Amino acid sequence: MKLKTKKRWNLALVASLALATVLSGCGNGSEADANQTYDPNSKLEFTWLNILHTASPPTDVIKNKLEEYTNSKINFSWVPDASKEERITTALASGQLADVVTITMMTNSTVRNSLKSGLFWDVGPYLDSYPNLKKIPQEVRTAASIEGHLYGVPFQKNMARSGLILRKDWLDKLGLEVPKTLDELYNVARAFTEDDPDGNGKNDTTGFGDRSDLRYSSFKTLSSYFGTPNGWAVDANGKFTPEFDTPQYMETLKYSHKLYENGYLTRDFAVTAKTDQQQQFAQGRTGIYTGMVDISSLENMSQGLQKGMELVPVNKISNGDGKYHVWSEGSGVGGLLAFPKSEVKSEAELKRLLQFVDKLLDKEAFMYMTGGIEGEHYKIDEDGSFKIINQDKWQADVQPFAASRPSEVTYKLKDSNPRKQMANELIQENDKYAVLDPTVPLDSQTNNEQGTELQKIVTDATFRYIMGELDDEGFKQAVQSWKDAGGTRITEEYEAAYKTSQGKS
């Protein structure tokens, strides 16, 4: 039996256009039968509102392979990553959704409210019925849940991917070692700026490149090296403190301001996009980049621009006490594959879609979405190393699917690029040092309603402090403004939710 043809949505990829919807008629011309029987052998046709992390959508090469493997027909609506917040929140508010929706902004107010409102199916009771989904660890399910309800299949990610990439050739030229402390890192940033690391006799290099994303810029990573809590701190009595109201956050502010003031941090970081930050690094204008996962991309981008570039990933920087901390992105959860009840009208449809997601967790599907077709896009060397053999074809056919894998941790590939393999190993090592956000499985109604707007107060104050536009007192006033505008209520609500989760009255 075939499931009925679904509504199809076409999302324009132009930021200035609103979401456009194109509806196709229902296959049987009637409403879904709530008592429809689940047929695991049915041909599944569905729509998927998905995030695009590349410049262009993929070709149909891998899509066709996935459809064949999963007995399905997939109608993708791709939303560019740069505009995902606007597009996804607009889609949620208007109800212009698809059968499967990729949700990555788990702390976004609109997203949290939509999940809590019952807009999506709670898939928690169903996961254990599928061979791959049942293997999702309980701690991942808990971290992805809201008040005990799991409103989608969690994207399984590494616990903590953060770290730095440094120009190893510059370190060697200047006689410097890979830094192990924040003081050593500061000296590297100074030397990369002042000591002509590229040897061209010009004052044209800067230590830290950065971008206008407080969470994924250097600041959050440096903050965790200082021992700042990840998002929130909670003490033995259940008292919550936001990260930006801690001494360690203030230490990071002072450190970052010193970098900026002395020219060791790019002057335009507050208005720099990620792609521009990468280009600065690839062109040899900066020597420190935040994000170990991007090491291969940076090497590829530098081809023809930088001769002799050698990179080294770094994951362990201490504040001098020999201890290591690194912030965890969502406690190993990268978002949800969610199923709106407005589109998925019956339990039978939900089960068939869950079967599809379960199939995506098979190694065959994982390899399609990671490497593509063996012999055409990649090969496995004699030592077991994975190697892309046609970079341009891989980027066109495969790369856009990599971020859509339900899990990036289920299978491990040995990368033929030793620097990338080292970065992969350091990311796995980060599990030992990961600092979790205690509010991930908790809920605050005020944060759902105002959290995104309130965060802008702190983000703006942080950037202004780094650039010397605010002093200590000015930043403290911004924190107080956050508290007065709703932050205090958020704190109290998290404390109450935490107490409930701990079984305390």
The 10s digit of each residue's pLDDT in 441-494 is 888 989 888 988 999 999 999 999 999 999 999 999 999 999 999 999 999 999
d(Cα 107, Cα 51) in Å, to the nearest integer? 17
d(Cα 280, Cα 282) in Å, to the nearest integer? 6
Q: What is the pLDDT of residue 28?
A: 34
Cite the beta strand spans of 98-248 per DSSP E: 100-103, 153-156, 164-167, 206-208, 232-234, 240-242
Considering 348, 377, 410, which residue would you say is the last residue of a domain? Answer: 410
More confident residue, 465 or 215: 465
Q: What is the pLDDT of residues 297-335, one digit of tens each?
A: 899 899 889 888 999 999 999 999 999 999 998 888 999
Q: Are residues 321 and 431 located together in one domain of the fold? A: yes
Q: Are residues 115 and 171 located together in one domain of the fold? A: no
Q: Are residues 309 and 212 located together in one domain of the fold? A: yes
Q: Is it the case that residue 30 has pLDDT exceeding 60?
A: no
**Model confidence, pTM:** 0.78
The pLDDT of 133-161, averaged and rounded, is 93
Q: In what order do the strands lie in the sheet with 153-156?
A: 72-80, 44-52, 100-103, 333-338, 153-156
Flag whether 449 is in a domain: no
Burial class (CB in 10 A: 0-12, 13-18, 19+), 420: buried
Flag whether 497 is in a domain: no
d(Cα 452, Cα 33) in Å, to the nearest integer? 39
Flag whether 26 is in a domain: no
Q: Quick one: which H or E segment has residue 173?
A: helix 168-174
Q: How confident is the model at residue 108 (pLDDT cuts 50, 70, 90)?
A: confident
Q: Give the pairing of strands 44-52 and 72-80.
A: parallel
Q: Quick check: helix, strand or coil at residue 374?
A: strand
17-31, 65-79, 100-114, 245-259 — which is least confidently predicted? 17-31
Flag whether 457 is in a domain: no
Q: Are residues 252 and 300 located together in one domain of the fold? A: yes
Q: Are residues 284 and 358 located together in one domain of the fold? A: no
Flag whether 10 is in a domain: no
Q: Is it the case that residue 10 has pLDDT exceeding 70?
A: no
Q: Which CATH number characterizes residue 177's domain?
A: 3.40.190.10
33-37, 230-234, 281-285 — which is least confidently predicted? 33-37
Q: Are residues 269 and 300 located together in one domain of the fold? A: yes
Q: Quick check: helix, strand or coil at residue 284?
A: coil
Flag whether 3 is in a domain: no
Flag whether 287 is in a domain: yes
List 378's β-bridge partners, or say none: 374, 388
Q: Are residues 154 and 51 located together in one domain of the fold? A: yes
d(Cα 97, Cα 76) in Å, to the nearest integer? 12
Domain, as residue range, for 393: 44-160+333-410
Flag whether 39 is in a domain: no
Q: Are residues 247 and 389 located together in one domain of the fold? A: no
The pLDDT of 348-363, averaged and rounded, is 98
More confident residue, 84 or 484: 484
Q: Is it the case that residue 29 has pLDDT exceeding 70?
A: no
Q: Are residues 321 and 356 located together in one domain of the fold? A: no
Looking at the structure of the chain, the number of domains it has is 2
Q: Give the pairing of strands 44-52 and 100-103.
A: parallel
Q: Is it the case that residue 18 has pLDDT exceeding 90?
A: no
Q: What is the mean pLDDT of the chain?
A: 90
Q: Are residues 317 and 337 located together in one domain of the fold? A: no
The pLDDT of 192-216, averaged and rounded, is 95
Q: Are residues 323 and 354 located together in one domain of the fold? A: no
The pLDDT of 149-156, averaged and rounded, is 96
> CB-hemisphere CA count at 13 Å for 431?
8
Q: Are residues 258 and 274 located together in one domain of the fold? A: yes
